[in-house]
A and B are shown apart, each in its own frame.
Chain A
């Protein structure tokens, strides 16, 4: 019945899990096949882009209002409970009966209505400011395509495609730079969520949604798919690299190149191209033209593979190609039953794809 977790080759007994519950000692023992932990909390209160800041300020305003309401009403409740509790259980006289009061009831109808109106107007202002913002012609455009359990990023203006890790330019006051995303889906609903840059917007098949941001801090920001999309929804992670304009330009330039052709790994390439790999993956400038899986042309320019489920080293790649399900149970890449020798050769080839 729990075949899944037996298969994971880990001590998966209920007793062990309970022990873990008690000790919390499990972190290291239960880590993924390879350790690619980024110690970063994608807090929504740590905004690093124009729209995220707007949302953040709005949220603080709402917290103030709702917090005040809570304090007032809760204090009232505490007072009532303490003040009007029956003190003498033997006294069974009834308190005076009050049936209502039009003035008081009117007051606590009108005041909330006013509060709602204020909240609405504030919200609407920011809603329109973000949603109806005109994109400047200089904006960087990228298409985000959700696939079952991984993200594809297309840069139509630059003519290349990558996966798992989105790169965008930094926006500064001197050189404002907007990134404008179109959100698409190849299969089911997903949702693109990197809290530091924007809220989440769904990517839905047969529909084009959009999102924009102006990142104000260079660095890497994490997030993940936020709409249940099937077995491996949990490991459909996201990374956005915000780079200075120079770094970004260099990255783009590299991505635009066709794949590196290193004669030293010619037999690795030959194994790769003789396998089904090429019907699911693109390596630009070679026979590999499949579009079902991530573009591998510049595989080694990424820190992670499988949308953040694993780090990207030769050892990780071997593990991944041998049994993708081990790294990411339910992933749509099949285990190809290759020999270790074939895998070594393929990985030798893949690691040249800088």
Chain B
């Protein structure tokens, strides 16, 4: 099979790349001014990983505090700031850059393009996003004057008004929060525009929309959702700043404003945001599961339809976060129905993945392990999501630890499984070297154990009446032991994550040579060298099916015959 990695239409340039290494300063300069989608993608990923570690440390601090009742490890002030920062970091500084980074790196390669449609907008977007992150973390220093941990935002990451109004939130910590999200929001919108333009206009010859890899489809859907959802968030943040500094009264209840309007704005962004984060994880599973099952994806058109369907339906479910704000029964019923309906396309996806594996020859390399754990975890998270969508029951479950467990199951169970899976899969393409499989297995199994210790058991205190966002709790409520297990699981996850980071660094220098196509895969990125040259493809590839490399490797039975 080694000789099967033939170039498509001479797309590959196998002459060794003569890299010219400049001085250290020149290299840094090169990264700073780069407009190469691959370098920008890598910077996004590095940025996301750094904030994964930062947000992870914050999570560990929170879990130490909550491990036992009446703990005094963190003061309430510090706890509130840390959990606000943890949520904001993980969503905006870890999740978003991670998905955009992968999209940036992979979309052009997978559609046979040489770069994104607007390379300089791409660089601009990245630097805006990263500026947002720095801005947010600067609040630790500047939020209320020079005070350290005592001054980061402490209004939760959903920041319900009027707690964010000046009467209740003095100093500047809330301003840092709002402005940071406005700034990084502009970056995100730029990135989304770019992905849309790239997928629509830059596809190589023969790649019709319905021959795009599913990963590209999902990135297109996600980019569309970002355009629709980041805008209300940005608008709400601007209104908040106007409230705080220009005497506006949008959310200021003391002057007749409506806090519930903030809730609507926030969740019109916030719910689709969950899908913005999760669909790219699906996207990775869509590539990995077929390759490691050695089968074409089952029901490609249905997968595309389901993705678009999730995108559309998810725009109409936001108020299921608001069953407790006192909407009338008809509105509540509407959001019960729409939320239930979003489960249908999600179900289709799970079934199609299972059908893809059915009858295959499954190779359980690390990427596939991660995707399989994701599959079953996502099933579980989807079902607890159904429970939460049942409005009367939601009155019990909402804002309890059950919800916290649910959305960590969704986000960690999907993103922090699929993306590491994606790293194990594409790292060879990005660096030319394989990640260590043995360390990969350690990473995987430890993370599975830690994840389930933490997030399976976290449901229980929620059912026993423990609300979220509390810095401590009374003994004797039946919550203690559970919280201890949850905290220990967090430590296990931390160890697994450190192994992963070590693997990333170690393999960069010591990993086995990857070659252009280590996984015997089928999409265009595997036709070029690893890492790809700056121009990606020496000449424009031409494709005639969804799996161009399959056609090449199996000329007797090409896909193009069936599509």
Contacts and interface: CB of A to CB of B under 8 A. Distances in A.
B392 to A, nearest CB: 5
A2 B75 contact: yes
A58 interface: yes
A177 to B, nearest CB: 22
A97 B295 contact: yes
Given A1-B149, A207-B326, A41 B464 contact: yes
B476 A189 contact: no
Given A86-B361, A207-B326, A188 B340 contact: no
B324 A202 contact: yes
B283 to A, nearest CB: 19
B375 A77 contact: yes
Interface string A28-61: 0011100001111111110000010011001100
Interface stretch (A128-136, A334-342, A344-352): A128-136
A204 B259 contact: yes
Nearest to B299: A100
A36 to B, nearest CB: 9
B17 interface: no
Contacts of A98: 295-296, 298, 355, 359
A148 B167 CA distance: 12
A155 to B, nearest CB: 21
A116 B393 contact: no
Interface string A175-213: 000000001000111010101001111101111011000
B121 interface: no
Nearest to A195: B465
A30 B326 CA distance: 38
A44 B72 contact: no
B150 A128 contact: no
Contact of A210 (B70, B156, B326, B467): B326
B160 A77 contact: no
B476 A2 contact: no
Interface in B331-380: 332-333, 336-337, 340-341, 343-344, 347-348, 350-352, 354-355, 357-364, 372, 375-376, 379-380
B357 A80 contact: yes
B187 to A, nearest CB: 28
A1 B148 contact: yes
Contact of B387 (A4, A62, A105, A148): A62
A12 B392 contact: no
Interface stretch (B37-45, B61-69, B127-135): B61-69
Nearest to B257: A206
Nearest to B472: A234
B163 interface: yes
Contact of A188 (B168, B299, B363, B479): B168
A119 B386 contact: yes
A63 B154 CA distance: 35
A258 interface: no
Interface residues of A, number: 112
A250 interface: no
A112 B351 CA distance: 11
A124 B357 contact: no
Contact of A100 (B155, B156, B301, B471): B301
A312 B149 CA distance: 34
A278 to B, nearest CB: 24
B329 interface: yes
A287 B64 CA distance: 47
Interface stretch (B102-110, B111-119, B235-243, B395-403): B395-403
Given A5-B75, A59-B390, A74 B463 contact: no
Nearest to A86: B361
A185 to B, nearest CB: 8
Contact of B372 (A81, A123, A230): A81
Contacts of B467: 193, 224-226
Interface stretch (B19-27, B76-84, B206-214): B76-84
Interface string B131-168: 00000000000000000111000111000111100001
Contacts of A20: 67-68, 71
Contact of A233 (B341, B469, B480): B469
Contact of A62 (B260, B325, B393, B475): B393
A76 B299 contact: no
A230 B163 contact: yes
A84 B64 contact: no
A17 B326 CA distance: 41
Interface in B445-487: 463-465, 467-480, 484, 487
Contact of B487 (A21, A31, A95, A112): A21
A222 B383 CA distance: 29
A260 interface: no
Interface in B508-563: 554, 557, 559, 562-563
B354 to A, nearest CB: 6
Contacts of B77: 4, 231, 329-330
B361 A84 contact: yes
Given A42-B464, A234-B470, 12 more contacts: A1-B78, A44-B396, A76-B354, A77-B372, A81-B362, A99-B299, A101-B299, A109-B348, A116-B344, A119-B386, A124-B336, A199-B394
Pairs of residues from A and B, 3 with the lowest C-beta to C-beta distance, nearest first = A4-B75, A199-B395, A42-B465
8 contacts: A77-B354, A77-B376, A85-B361, A189-B163, A189-B259, A195-B465, A207-B258, A227-B160
Interface of B: 1, 64, 67-78, 80, 148-150, 154-156, 160-163, 168, 253-254, 256-260, 293-296, 298-302, 324-326, 328-329, 332-333, 336-337, 340-341, 343-344, 347-348, 350-352, 354-355, 357-364, 372, 375-376, 379-380, 383-384, 386-387, 390-400, 463-465, 467-480, 484, 487-488, 554, 557, 559, 562-563
Interface of A: 1-5, 7-8, 10, 12, 14, 17-18, 20-21, 24, 26-27, 30-32, 37-45, 51, 54-55, 58-59, 62-63, 66, 69-70, 73-74, 76-77, 80-81, 84-86, 89, 91-92, 94-101, 104-105, 108-109, 112-113, 116, 119-120, 123-124, 126-128, 130-132, 148, 183, 187-189, 191, 193, 195, 198-202, 204-207, 209-210, 222-235, 237, 329-330
